[in-house]
Amino acid sequence: MTDDTHDTDETADDTHDTDETTDDFRSRVGTVGQKPETDEDLYGMTWEEAGDALLTADAVVLPTGSVEQHSVHLPLSVDTIRADHLSAELVAAAATADLRLLRLPVFSYGYSEHHLQFPGTVTLSQDTYRDAVVDIGASLAEHGVDRLILLNCHGGNREPLSLAVDRLGRDYDVTTHLIHWTDFACDRLEEAFGDDWGHAGDHETSVIELFRPALVRDEKAEPQDTRPFPQTTTYRYFDDLTEQGGLGDPTNADPELLAEIVEATTESILEQLRADIENGW
Ligand SMILES: [Zn+2]
């Protein structure tokens, strides 16, 4: 669990963990500065254990992220870190909605063509991305899985994931729930940070300060220089929109508030999943 070179020895002097809510949250989900693990990680099971678990769990969760620039103060792994920690929270809290969820490793590579002008961004083509997600679902179907949850933490993945949901349902009889995490959090994020909580801004900086504080380059965090989104066309590349690569003002980050938003949002997602399943979907 020490494969991250940035946060091996800096967690002890982390200044963000004084709030009681945040401390509680961290002790439940995992240790700050580390990759989270849950008892329901398919990755940690033997094939015998997996065989039983896949047949008895209610659904399998595939967290989806990206390898993509997140301005000059955050690492390329932001969406993947979000997918990892937020899926761990979802799986750990699933029992409150009377669900048992298994968790796959994060699918880190995403569709990020619009960020390619920034070094380090890696993208799959939309077709490759869709096909890879379908292949993952089809593999699970071989083992008797009939319900998959895509917990998505990167906006660029939306369209290819929607197409994958269609194929998994029609071709493999796998009911696939597509959960864009921020869709369930956006009202709370707007209340906390205003309209401008987008890419690498207030919200995502708060998430990384909460889970992996040593990865935030505090001295580089500054209000982002942006121009307004076009209203009648679309931008081609993200450097058309922003100088540094982000939106909003990362200096407004508030990890304690974010911890509360994560707990409430996880509850909302589980409630909706429970309702859809009870309604026969
Ligand atoms: Zn992001």
| Residue 25 burial (CB count, 10 A) | 23
Q: What is the whole-number distance in angstroms between the Cα of residue 76 and the centre of ligand 1? A: 9
Smallest CA-to-CA distance from 212 within 20, 90, 29 is with 29
Q: What is the whole-number distance in angstroms between the Cα of residue 155 and the centre of ligand 1? A: 8
Q: What is the whole-number distance in angstroms between the Cα of residue 12 and the centre of ligand 1? A: 26
What is the pLDDT averaged over residues 176-190? 98
Q: What is the whole-number distance in angstroms between the Cα of residue 238 and the centre of ligand 1? A: 12
Q: What is the whole-number distance in angstroms between the Cα of residue 261 and the centre of ligand 1? A: 17
Phi-psi region of 99 (alpha: psi -120 to 50; beta: other; left: phi over 0): beta
Q: What is the whole-number distance in angstroms between the Cα of residue 198 and the centre of ligand 1? A: 8
pLDDT digits (tens, 9 = 90+) for 82-122: 999 999 999 999 999 999 999 999 999 999 999 999 999 99
Q: What is the whole-number distance in angstroms between the Cα of residue 252 and the centre of ligand 1? A: 16
Q: What is the whole-number distance in angstroms between the Cα of residue 154 and the centre of ligand 1? A: 6
Question: What CATH fold (topology level) applies to the domain 14-272?
Answer: Rossmann fold (3.40.50)
Beta bridge partners of 103: 41, 61
Q: What is the predicted pLDDT for the residue at 26?
A: 53
Q: Residue 34's pLDDT band (boundaries 50, 70, 90)?
A: confident
Q: What is the whole-number distance in angstroms between the Cα of residue 80 and the centre of ligand 1? A: 8
pTM above 0.85, yes or no: yes
Q: CA 266 to CA 63: how far, in whole Å? A: 14
